[in-house]
Amino acid sequence: MAGQPVEAPRPVRVSGVDAGGRTRAGELRFLAMVVGAGLGGLIAWSNPHRVAGTEFTLFAVLALMLGTASGEVFGYGLARWRDVLTSHPTVRFRHCIPALLGVAAVAGLLIGAAPFVVGRELIPERSLTLASLALFGALPAAGALSAVQCAVQAPLPGTPGAQLDGLLTLRRLLSSLLNQLGLLILLVMLANGAATQWGTDLPTTVVIFSGTVSSLIVGAAFVPAASTLRRRSSYFVDQYFTLDDAPLAELIQRADDRIKLEKMLGIDRTTFDDFKAGLVILAPILASAVAAVIANL
């Protein structure tokens, strides 16, 4: 109304973005990438078997890429973890601890079993160090996955539209996290594949084993979250889109709408299908081809 002071609009903040376009999450991710790249390069350079040549150069480049990707995944996973905790206030950090401890236990058991599977003398320190770097980079992503699992253990609040929007958002988040982790697995295998042709003579089984172990660790974090989200989505569809009260003339249309909704929520897919789409299960299959290519350089 005339004569009344006009209140200045408040800055809008979405996922850490302010009106000036600066993002703390983006800055943190860039810093993590720089630190990760430095650590990857340091691991390659500190290797006592380094010599000038194609083999070492390729290994150093892949180690640098793995470090950079670890930093990127660390920053991305931390941002997504914060997003889930912010959008679902009932989820607390302490709720994620059991799932994280479970993933850590699986990782510890699999890594501890490595010397007995491929031989203690066939596991160089550089492989363990790079794998540890990738594992550390993946921890926030595992935390985000556990937060998603906690968020959907109970029905989402709000109207059916708000619940559907929340389910779709969490499904997209799971897919993006899986793609990030799948890239880490592939780079771990590539770095190990490049290391088979210089320094310690490594068999290709080390490459395959590293990919398999990485896949199982990621699976330990992804499968519970994806399965819980799929069950919650199925309950949502059964609650709000039942066909029991549908008139006969509308039955086919409503059934078609239900099928479309199930596709949107991924109910028609299995966790294994999502796993394959994220290149996690396919990664160990590529190990032999990677090692063969490296051997022919």
Rounded average pLDDT over 274-297: 52
Does the reported pTM lie above 0.85?
Answer: no
- Tell me: pLDDT of 285 over 90: no
Beta-carbon-side half-sphere exposure of residue 297 (alpha carbons within 13 Å): 19
Q: Where are the domains of the chain?
A: 24-295
Residues 71, 67, 84: CA angle, nearest 5 degrees:
25
The single residue listed with the structure tokens 């099928």 is 259
In angstroms, how far is CA 95 from the centroid of its own chain?
19
Question: pLDDT of 144-202, one tens digit each?
Answer: 999 999 999 888 888 989 999 999 999 999 989 988 888 888 888 888 777 665 555 56
The residue among 180, 272, 220, 229 whose CA lies nearest residue 99 is 220
Give the Cα separation of 155 and 178 in Å (integer).
24
Residues 6+ away with beta carbon under 8 Å from 98: 146
Residues 250, 252, 166: CA angle, nearest 5 degrees:
90
Question: pLDDT of 188-197, one tens digit each?
Answer: 888 877 766 5
DSSP letters spanning 7-46: PPPPPP-BTTB-TTS-BHHHHHHHHHHHHHHHHHHHHHHT
- Tell me: pLDDT of 134 over 50: yes
| H/E run at residue 100 | helix 93-118
Is the CB of residue 240 less than 8 Å from the CB of residue 265?
Answer: no
Question: pLDDT of 242-260, one tens digit each?
Answer: 888 778 888 888 888 888 8
Question: pLDDT of 20-55, one tens digit each?
Answer: 434 566 678 888 899 988 988 888 887 666 665 566
Give the Cα separation of 150 and 167 in Å (integer).
13
- Tell me: pLDDT of 296 over 80: no
